[in-house]
Structure 1
Amino acid sequence: MTSDTAAADRTGTDFEIFIVTAPGLESVLCAEVKAKGFRDATAIKGGVTIRGGWPEVWRANLELRGATRVLARVASFRAFHLAQLDKRARRVPWAEFLRPDVPVRVEASCKGSRIYHAGATAQRIERAITEELGAPISAEAEVSIKARIDDDLCTISVDTSGESLHKRGHKEEIHKAPLRETLAALFLHHCGYDGTEPVVDPMCGSGTFVIEAAEIAAGLHPGRSRRFAFEQLASFDDAAWQAMRSAGGNAQTPTFRFYGSDRDGGAIAMSRANAERAGVAALTDFQKHAVSDLMPPPEGPPGLVIVNPPYGARIGEKKPLFALYGALGQTLLSRFSGWRVGLVTNEASLAQTTGLPFQPSGPSVSHGGLRVTLHSTAALP
């Protein structure tokens, strides 16, 4: 479509889908997307693009563990001023994906364009939706339209996820500084975890790493227990969706278990409750003890120890943490020969204190307002 074409792209069986993830983890998500068989997966800033139709949108929400949300890019057109934006927004085939009886909210952003006022952009698009389709506008609407004008190109997307995809619907109880499930899944993937080995987390908090690892090994879809915004769209086919959900994943029962420990008894209680809600209680084992008491599992091959210890900038003072990290490293080096290690922290000096033979630093991402980095090893000697 040329830059001065007034008509918007029409939605059909094949359009661009943008899968959002934490900046810095795009390549890790892209590997997951490709492994799941999605078409034309390309890592770009902030996520991964694929091609497909509405069934691919539903499946991405259901199956992808590293995705934050899934945006269906339903229209794009050039707009050099607000009057042109108003005119071309009215030509978007809103009725193909929005319902007139379902409230909508519009969010807009502008960058490097002659239209620079995000609020005015959102207002024009809201007016086009209400006057052309009749759908009500509400700031609390579950269905969200995202309009981005970049270099005078307006891209219209539907947020098909609703709540962030890290909200699996299982972790109702959380410990201090909880790691999001999406980040945990991507860190596991980056450490080479594919569900065929045991996982140990010696500072398990709410149990996120252990539960994610158990779900992957059991072949459970991350979105199996929640609802999505796309269920409120005109393009939604409930029968096809229910068939997709009921097909499940490659359900299987691992021959090994997944272990979490923490010195905080409250964290252990939370982890057990969260694992029960996730349906993996039988695959997990959570025990209260200190890092110095950590031992390898009594059965099963060597696997992955992955841990998100306290950070000085978030929980307590940094100085006492050097002793904690040192004890962790000493325990792993003396007892976990053949195991790989993944450690997430915001301070390289804390990671170095473990004495573990870390490879070059992995992804650095934002977590709770801090920049954290994944440090990983090959199999320990």
Structure 2
Amino acid sequence: MTKNEDFEIFLAAPPGLESVLCTEVGLKGFKHPKAVPGGVVTRGSWPDVWRANLWVRGASRVLARIVSFRVVHLAQLDDRARDVEWAKILRPDVPFRVEASCSASRIYHSGAAAERIENAIKQKLGAPVAPDAEIIVRVRIEHDICTISVDSSGVLLHRRGHKEAVNRAPLRETMASLFLRQCGYGGSEPVLDPMCGSGTFVIEAAEIAARLNPGRSRHFAFERLANFDEAAWAQMREAKSARIPSVRFYGRDRDVGAITMSRANAERAGISDYTDFQQGTISELTPPEGTPGLVIVNPPYGTRIGEKKKLAPLYRTLGRVLRERFTGWRVGMIAAEARLAEATELPFLPTSAPVPHGGLRVSLYRTEPLS
């Protein structure tokens, strides 16, 4: 597989948000993206893989699908794995590991399948296997079709490289960007998060408005592959698309520690000039001066018995403040419990299917501009 050879690329997304990611991938100029269970498929070459890691905000990882074939027993898997031109993809001096899954196939033992692929690579290339290796070869055998991919991302893509300080159960940046997109946010309006935590929504919104690439500050696994072109990658990274946003982005939280975290994270992300983080309660919340925009909030979920009743007054207060003071603003709210969302008495649009987050299933509740 050469640097410019065309192949299938898979961008992973949280189940339920595949179509939202597909829209983003299409807008970023990738070929014929298609939403599939668990993500989006497109086609391209290795530079497109690099670009996807650098540009796409909503993907959690990017897989380069290097080969797919029918297989019904382990000896056959052995033979086909040895046919792969591993030297064009992996380096003999860089450790790797194999992760396999089997479903509805005659090969049903994922450990045995992974071992066969490992042995084929070791024998053909001599690369060492390590349980904590950054380079991951992913093998999926489903309905007797084996697909072998290389995880080009390494550490999951929500780790942008800026957020060192986090609060409990933070929303991942990748998911925050998809929720912003679902709310119709495109970078040209102010955004306010009244319970900003470590600042995820505010920082993501500011970065989108400033046209900053989400992967600009981090390392990727593909930088240690055999076909990596350091000069071409450097040119891609250095291409400037940034602009100064025409609006500002606001975070509020009752916890002074959260405000301190948010300011530090915004500073590391390079967007502190466009953000405003201030301590304050929901009852003190007022809209900033200027044109209305988007209020987006991820309130406490109340996962334990008895917590939901205790949280109901918070949701009622949030809804009252938004209805009374935020005329013209749209609202996006993440909630795990429909009754708590309904306690706001906000005029929510119909919700889509819930998505997994932190062991729960959460939904995005949206409004039109409030009147």
TM-score (norm 1): 0.95
Partner residue in 2 for 1:280: 271
1:10–1:75 CA contact under 8 A, matched in 2:
no
For 1:1-381, list aligned pairs within 5 A: 13-248=5-240, 250-299=241-290, 301-313=291-303, 317-381=307-371
Shift of 1:255: 2.1
Distance 2:4 2:77 in 1: 22
2:101–2:110 CA contact under 8 A, matched in 1:
yes
1:272–1:281 CA contact under 8 A, matched in 2:
yes
Structure 1: gaps spanning 5 or more residues: 1-8
Distance 2:9 2:247 in 1: 37
1:179–1:208 CA contact under 8 A, matched in 2:
yes
Shift of 1:235: 1.2
SS of residue matched to 1:282: helix
Deviations 1:255-306 (CA, angstroms, capped at 9, x unpaired): 221000000111010000010010011110001010011111123x110000
Structure 1 residues 136 and 16, CA gap change in structure 2 (3 angstroms)? same
SS of residue matched to 1:205: coil
Shift of 1:176: 2.1
2:22–2:34 CA contact under 8 A, matched in 1:
yes
Question: 1:271 corresponds to which letter in structure 2?
Answer: S
Structure 2: gaps spanning 5 or more residues: none
Deviations 1:25-48 (CA, angstroms, capped at 9, x unpaired): 000000000010100100000000
Question: 1:229 corresponds to which letter in structure 2?
Answer: A
Structure 1 residues 372 and 159, CA gap change in structure 2 (3 angstroms)? same
Distance 2:267 2:4 in 1: 41
SS of residue matched to 1:149: strand
Shift of 1:121: 0.3
1:74–1:158 CA contact under 8 A, matched in 2:
yes
Distance 1:315 1:97 in 2: 51
Distance 1:11 1:253 in 2: 35
Distance 2:209 2:252 in 1: 19
Q: How many residues align?
A: 371
Shift of 1:181: 0.3
| Cα-Cα RMSD | 1.3
Identity %: 64
Distance 2:4 2:319 in 1: 54
Distance 1:12 1:199 in 2: 40
TM-score (norm 2): 0.98
